[in-house]
A and B are shown apart, each in its own frame.
Chain A
Amino acid sequence: MNRSSPQQIRKSERDVKLFVTFMTILIIIVAALTVGSYHGYSPNPSSVAITGFLLLLTVLITAVWYKTKYPGYIRAD
């Protein structure tokens, strides 16, 4: 655990960062469209579920991307 990894050269991450940016915009648009102008205190669970699902999917896909881009790399310091 917390083991060292061999020296890893930094590679271009432009595509994953574009993906994250696109998904962030999409998540906010989905939340805005599913909530609308409602400003009470009882949120729609379906709206929260779809927004949260998109975010978790984004985090997972990003994790897979990094695992694939830098296989076996775990920063030690």
Chain B
Amino acid sequence: MEAVTVSFSVTAPLWIGIFFGVIIGGLAELWGISNSDVLLKLAKWEDRLFINCIAIAIGVGAVLLYGLAALGVGFHYGVKPEYIIGVALGGLIFGIGVAIAGYVPGTEWMALGEGRREAIYAVFGGLLGAASWTILYQTAVGQWLVNTLNYGPIYLAGKAGTNLDLGFLISLAWAVAMFGVAYYLPRYQNGKSCIYMATHPNYKMTEIELSIHEETSKMLTEGSAMPVGPSDHLAYSVNNHWAPKSDLRWLLTFVGAIIGAVVVLEMFLHQIFGESTTYSWIVGYLWLPSYSYSQLVFKTIGWEPYSDIGTLLGSFLAAIFVSRRFQAFNAWIPKTWQKRFGSSELKRDIGVFLGSYLVLFGARMAGGCASGHILSGDLQMALSSIEFFAFVAFSLLVTGRLLYGGKKQR
């Protein structure tokens, strides 16, 4: 982790990381991505909410980060090194895993906090995937992957933490591109984006759009162990937050902006937001303490284990106190998976385990995951993270098409 001090910077104690995890985990739970069906539908290119929200977070965060940096505020940058082959291969493996499991490393913790039974298998698969990379890292193959065509930590304006004025100018164009994606990419086919609907209160949804929204609401709440009563207005608003009459529609549409700002604050106080290094840290302490990758992780992980605990806690609190989506480890299988592979819970658990294995193996190979690369890295305009996102998107969509047959026909 590289700390670059310009004129004003601070470093907070590690336990503060819990609060950042709580904010991001809580907001993401309300947003719905702890439900594996959301990412499975993304793999089918059927629900693009994840892209919409992450684009807002990246755009807002990039301008805020480099704007403040240009004014002299010091940040703890966390630009991942650009080793082209390892990042590309890791991204491909990661995308395949997400299309199978429906989870990224952070949403596995969130799903556990939401009481999802399949998340237990996801976490164990993830730990095994992280362990596999720890073992591979110190072999000739592992070293070749991380050292071949390695250009170090670079972003669109040069070496990380340098050329900050130029970085700010580029971040403006970067933000325009991100906001364009968020505004013009419809959440569902033949519809409008969440931003468009939030900023056009008189927009009337089509019958098809309304029926898909209702379907999404059912998807988010099914399997919950918490019945909803007439007084649970907040839960109703959250579970239908895209609906025209929801009073939380505007807030939850722009939840990505809050997440982007929170990541920048986190970088000011200690480090970027990441989720997958903790898996390597756990397997390092439990099983592989003497391995060189474990030693590297021990020295550099920072407050990530605490922010991961916070992610789980935030999702748990949001599910109990707001969305009422706590499942209490009920039996549940995502509909997308069920339609393709049937209702065998054993088959789904094996799928989640294997998918998560690939997710963490790919993430550690590439040096980050959806949080460290796609959110924090693309927010910093890191070249490695842009490359990672491109390869993840490619393999996620291709695997989704092969496994589930692409978009739903209506």
The answer to whether A70 and B316 have CB atoms under 8 Å apart is: no
Residue of B nearest to A8 (CB): B227
The answer to whether A38 and B301 have CB atoms under 8 Å apart is: no
The answer to whether B221 and A59 have CB atoms under 8 Å apart is: no
Give every chain B residue within 8 A of A43 (Cβ-Cβ).
14, 301-303, 305-306
Give every chain B residue within 8 A of A13 (Cβ-Cβ).
226
Task: Kindly identify which residue among B222, B225, B271, B298 contacts A70, using a CB–CB cutoff of 8 Å.
Answer: B225
The answer to whether A1 and B345 have CB atoms under 8 Å apart is: yes
The answer to whether B113 and A59 have CB atoms under 8 Å apart is: yes
Total A residues in contact with B, Cβ cutoff 8 Å: 42
The answer to whether B222 and A75 have CB atoms under 8 Å apart is: yes
Give every chain A residue within 8 A of B317 (Cβ-Cβ).
20, 24
The answer to whether B328 and A62 have CB atoms under 8 Å apart is: yes
In the docked arrangement, what's the CA distance between A76 and B229, Å? 15
In the docked arrangement, what's the CA distance between A36 and B13, Å? 7
The answer to whether A74 and B320 have CB atoms under 8 Å apart is: no
Interface: B233 (CB within 8 A): no
Interface-central residue, A39, A45, A52, A75, by most chain B CB under 10 Å: A75
The answer to whether A31 and B335 have CB atoms under 8 Å apart is: no
The answer to whether B300 and A75 have CB atoms under 8 Å apart is: no
Interface: B166 (CB within 8 A): no
The answer to whether A59 and B14 have CB atoms under 8 Å apart is: no
Task: Kindly identify which residue among A35, A64, A74, A77 contacts B218, using a CB–CB cutoff of 8 Å.
Answer: A77
In the docked arrangement, what's the CA distance between A1 and B345, Å? 8
A-binding residues in B (CB < 8 A) = 1, 11-15, 18, 112-113, 115, 217-218, 221-229, 231-232, 270-271, 285, 298-303, 305-306, 309, 312-313, 316-317, 320-321, 326, 328-333, 335, 338, 343, 345
Supplied contacts A20-B321, A41-B1, 16 more A-B pairs, CB within 8 Å = A1-B333, A2-B343, A20-B316, A27-B18, A27-B313, A32-B15, A41-B271, A41-B302, A43-B301, A45-B285, A52-B305, A55-B312, A59-B113, A62-B328, A64-B328, A75-B221
Complex A-B: 23 CB contacts under 8 Å: A2-B223, A10-B232, A13-B226, A20-B321, A31-B18, A32-B13, A35-B14, A41-B300, A42-B301, A43-B301, A51-B306, A55-B309, A62-B115, A62-B316, A63-B225, A63-B328, A64-B328, A66-B225, A67-B225, A74-B330, A75-B221, A75-B227, A77-B217
